């Protein structure tokens, strides 16, 4: 292979990065420290592939952690057109109106949209809204779910099944999580009139892919309605991936507020708080009858380039019937991995909906954070490393995101690599 690196290597770039960027990366999950080794540095992407600075090609099953649902860089023309007119104006543009209209048209029950710049901002803003609407402080979250890095949501559970949160990061004061209650996933907690909201990943995607058990989401909806609390779906990952209307459409449960991100930005920084008109209008200064408007602001909210990328992505999703395509290709990949495991007598479960999957090693039932953590995580991490050695890029702990750019050829290549990767971890004794 010809050297296109210009003398750059992944190792040399990482060494440089560690001198000027904490840990050498700007988001900890990119560091590969949880699985060992150093990251590669991407030079470019096209469709289902990325190339590193050394010219090595990988089948990309990370797809920017699910944001690039239509592959790389399919929406670049829309971005270039928008950028040619300017980047940011501090004034509204038609693009953000069109994007909000498209989101409302696709998500049943969505009446208004407030655009922000990140998943963390959308969950933080949704919780502020819920507290403003209800006049209450307490927030219920589920152990193992991740809702961004704002202080109030960086809570870890204590020793009990349902406890007031404890700071899960240095720098988070106890006071920031004093009103955060952490409960087990897939168990409907008791709710009372102290609770402002329940926020949940309708399909848990950060602890690993853990689907809701029958009755869980329905129970949350009923419990919130009875207690006068708001139900918030964090669909930063699942939104527009499971269905055009998100997980609410799949499971038939409608929250009061949604948090969308990743897909709706088309690979650029953009997210949205979505929901009922009477709730979202409280963010308009002076609109609340009691004068208690909820403050939300941001210099780059609704950024013209990000809005253009989001619109282009939603158009492709509609044209290609993306959710069905993701199920088709994802199901083929899951069957292929399961066949590899069967032939090698490896205990494997392919967790999650076919639109994204999580190979888990072990036979036990998985229904919450602790049951997921009890699986063979060492084998899963090594599986991800072995796949990367074979030019298949997955989440460091082997979570797999499908895009509409993937096809059966990449599935075949990935399954061949998976067979060799599983055999390697079996032969190393990691499955005993």
Pick the catalytic residue from 234, 256, 358, 368.
234
Nearest to 233 by CA among 123, 129, 109, 107: 123
* Distance between CA atoms of residues 34 and 323, nearest Å: 31
The two tokens of residue 207 are: 């602890």
Only one residue has tokens 């009923």, namely 222
Helix (H, G, I), strand (E, B) or coil at 236: coil
Answer for the pair 308, 81: CB distance below 8 angstroms, yes or no: yes
Determine whether 3 is an active site residue: no
Q: Determine the longest span between alpha carbons in the chain, in angstroms.
A: 69
* Distance between CA atoms of residues 35 and 385, nearest Å: 7
* Distance between CA atoms of residues 363 and 119, nearest Å: 33
Pick the catalytic residue from 40, 262, 358, 419.
262
* Distance between CA atoms of residues 52 and 39, nearest Å: 10
The burial of 370, by beta-carbon neighbours within 10 Å (0-12 exposed, 13-18 middle, 19 or more buried), is given as middle
Pick the catalytic residue from 40, 49, 61, 146.
146
User: Going by DSSP bridges, is the β-strand pair 42-46/49-52 parallel, antiparallel, or unpaired?
Assistant: antiparallel
Nearest to 210 by CA among 327, 349, 418, 69: 349
Nearest to 174 by CA among 182, 187, 183, 165: 165
- Find residue 210's DSSP bridge partners: 204
Which CA distances in Å does 34 have to 13, 174, 376, 418? 20, 27, 14, 20
Determine whether 408 is an active site residue: no
The two tokens of residue 18 are: 């560690």
- Other CB atoms within a 10 A radius of the CB of residue 238 amount to 28
* Distance between CA atoms of residues 231 and 228, nearest Å: 10
State the catalytic residues: 146, 234, 262
């Amino acid at each position: 292979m010809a050297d296109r690196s210009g003398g750059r290597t992944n190792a040399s770039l990482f060494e440089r990065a560690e001198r000027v960027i904490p840990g050498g990366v700007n988001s900890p999950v990119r560091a590969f420290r949880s699985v060992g080794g150093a990251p590669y540095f991407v030079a470019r992407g096209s469709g289902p592939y990325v190339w590193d600075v050394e010219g090595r090609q990988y089948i990309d099953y990370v797809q920017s952690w699910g944001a690039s649902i239509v592959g790389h860089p399919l929406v670049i023309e829309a971005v270039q057109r928008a950028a040619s007119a300017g980047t940011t104006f501090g004034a509204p543009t038609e693009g953000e109106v069109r994007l909000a209209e498209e989101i409302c048209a696709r998500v049943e029950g969505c009446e208004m949209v407030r655009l922000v710049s990140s998943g963390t901002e959308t969950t933080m803003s949704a919780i502020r809204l819920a507290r403003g609407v209800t006049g209450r402080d307490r927030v219920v979250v589920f152990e193992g779910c991740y809702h961004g890095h704002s202080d109030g949501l960086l809570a870890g559970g204590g020793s009990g099944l349902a406890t007031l949160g404890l700071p899960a990061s240095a720098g988070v004061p106890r006071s920031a999580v004093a009103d955060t209650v952490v409960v087990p996933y897939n168990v409907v907690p008791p709710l009372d009139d102290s609770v402002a909201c329940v926020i949940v990943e309708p399909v848990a995607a950060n602890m690993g892919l853990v689907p809701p058990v029958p009755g869980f989401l329905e129970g949350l909806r009923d419990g919130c309605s009875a207690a006068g609390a708001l139900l918030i779906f964090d669909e930063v990952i699942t939104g527009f991936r499971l269905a055009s209307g998100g997980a609410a459409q799949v499971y038939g449960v409608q929250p009061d507020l949604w948090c969308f991100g990743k897909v709706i930005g088309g690979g650029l920084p953009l997210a949205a708080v979505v929901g009922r008109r009477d709730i979202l209008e409280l963010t308009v200064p002076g609109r609340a009858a009691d004068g208690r408007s909820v403050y939300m602001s941001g210099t780059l909210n609704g950024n013209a380039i990000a809005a253009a990328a989001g619109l282009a992505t939603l158009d492709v999703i509609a044209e290609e019937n993306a959710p069905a395509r993701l199920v088709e290709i994802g199901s083929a990949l899951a069957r292929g991995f399961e066949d590899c495991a069967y032939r090698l007598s490896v205990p494997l479960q392919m967790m999650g909906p076919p639109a994204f999957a999580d190979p888990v090693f072990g036979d036990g039932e998985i229904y919450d954070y602790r049951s997921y953590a009890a699986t063979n995580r060492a084998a899963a991490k090594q599986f991800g490393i072995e796949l990367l050695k074979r030019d298949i890029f997955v989440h460091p702990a082997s979570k797999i995101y499908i895009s509409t750019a993937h096809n059966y050829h990449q599935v075949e290549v990935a399954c061949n690599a998976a067979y060799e990767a599983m055999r390697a971890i079996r032969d190393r004794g990691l499955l005993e």
